[in-house]
Amino acid sequence: MRNISFILKQFSRSVLLAIGFALLGSAVYAQTDAAKGEALFKGNCTSCHKVDQQLVGPALGPTVTAETDDKWLYKWVENNQALMATKDAKAMKVFNDNGQKAMTVFATLSDADVGNILTYVRAEWKKDQTATATPAAGAAADSGPSNLVIFGLIAVIIIAFLVILILNKVIGTLERLLLNKANLLPEEVEPGEDKAAARKAEFKKLLKNKKLVGFFIFCAVICGGTWQWVTLWNTNVHQGYQPVQPIAFPHDLHAGVMKIQCQYCHAGAYKSKNATIPSLNVCMNCHKTIDRRMGEKVASPEIAKIYDALGYDNKTQKYDSTKARPIQWIRVHNLPDLAYFNHSQHVKVAGLKCQTCHGPVETMKEVYQYSPLTMKWCIQCHKRTEVNYKGNAYYDNMIIVHDKIKNHQPVTAAMLGGIECGKCHY
């Protein structure tokens, strides 16, 4: 009996010890740091991967989020070659789905390092998804009175009008019955008599009906007020504005298919008030050698417009400055003069993506105004957007300035950004 109890005791200790090691291992996997993961991701992964876009390898955001087996991901990242050598089905599928491109082996990364990278990627992907959904919500919230409300009001007016007509008909029938019973019915108009006079008398009778006249006045006030409200609400709101440009520039091809970053062309977005329209020299970085669409035998007429504007001869590859002329682009997004908007504050300081305000430009054949750009729309965005002030030079400087103010030390305009170009030069 003692032997049995001793064996059970030893067995229970072994089981408890194994459970303890398992919990310790899971705790190590759970304790991940997105900040450390960001540094590791930028140092090891950015040459082949992006969180939200296909680069050399697939977009890691949706891929990592869909995969729930982190231990398998650790093995794949640290030594994918060894994992494929075991003929692992999942590893072989990933290898084949990505064109059998060999991935770098990261033997120097530990499980904790890979866990930090996965935490960072998932956090960034979740942030991107939230930011992408936000503009649509903001635009919907600022779209003014909905068609459902307007049609509902019209339906209520029509139904009320029909009810009044039916009630008047019923009341008229009851009156005729009472008058007929009392032999007080007026003589009917004979066919030969003046029917026009009878109709005129009936119309005058309707005009004396205060309820009917009051109802028509009420309907006129409701319709007029609704029309005025919708008109004033949409004054100077150009959502959906899509002018015809002198050169048909397909954003869906450049930003969508070719994956060209927005700031490659609009370089001012991260350093100045205006995003800036790219010069044609930027276009020529690619189109000096590309003069037609892929698979086309004839040169593109739109690319030819770039050559004409620069005075460029594609055959001799020489420029004639006497033939150069500016392209008359038509501005799509216009703000009133009373509104101040600084791209760098939103792109560089706040870290917003271009799509937050401009919508999915990577899917647009021609760019149009996606958001309403009204004051209400901007205020709603400012209310729900959290400010990440940690490690931000702008807010670090503000803290220094505030400390100086508290200590009654002199503060100059330059400390508050008074010598920035955008403060005076728009």
Q: Examine the pLDDT at 202 and tell me if it is beyond 80.
A: no
Q: What is the pLDDT of residue 140?
A: 45
Q: What is the pLDDT of residue 15?
A: 45
CA–CA distance from 356 to each of 19, 260, 263 (Å)? 48, 17, 15
Quickly list DSSP for 344-387. Answer: HIIIIIS---THHHH--GGG-SS----S---HHHHHHHHHHPPP
Residue 376 · residue 138 · CB < 8 Å = no
- DSSP H helix total and E strand total for the chain: 18, 2
State the average pLDDT over residues 24-50.
Answer: 69
Q: Examine the pLDDT at 52 and tell me if it is beyond 70.
A: yes
Tokens found for residue 11: 């067995």
Give the tens place of pLDDT for each residue, 9-22.
454 555 445 555 44
Tokens 């004033």 label which residue? 232
Q: What is the pLDDT of residue 307?
A: 95
Most confident of 31-45, 152-166, 212-226: 212-226
Q: What is the pLDDT of residue 364?
A: 93
State the average pLDDT over residues 373-391.
Answer: 87
Rounded distance between C-alpha atoms, residue 103 and residue 317, angstroms: 41
Q: Examine the pLDDT at 154 and tell me if it is beyond 90.
A: no
Tokens found for residue 243: 């002018």
Rounded distance between C-alpha atoms, residue 399 and residue 390, angstroms: 11
When pLDDT is cut at 50, 70 and 90, the band that residue 179 belongs to is confident
Percent of the chain with pLDDT over 90: 27
Instruction: Kindly report the average pLDDT of the chain as a whole number.
Output: 80
When pLDDT is cut at 50, 70 and 90, the band that residue 426 belongs to is low
Among 25, 121, 113, 123, which Cα is nearest to 77's? 113
| Residues in Cβ contact with 207 at an 8 Å cutoff, skipping those fewer than 6 apart | 213
Q: Examine the pLDDT at 102 and tell me if it is beyond 60.
A: yes
Give the tens place of pLDDT for each residue, 339-364.
889 999 899 888 889 999 999 999 99
When pLDDT is cut at 50, 70 and 90, the band that residue 144 belongs to is low
Rounded distance between C-alpha atoms, residue 366 and residue 246, angstroms: 12
Return the SS3 of 319.
Answer: strand
Among 153, 338, 277, which Cα is nearest to 227's? 153
Strands 318-319 and 312-313: antiparallel
Q: What is the pLDDT of residue 361?
A: 93
Q: What is the pLDDT of residue 305?
A: 95
State the average pLDDT over residues 23-37.
Answer: 59
Amino acid at 337: D
Q: What is the pLDDT of residue 190?
A: 53
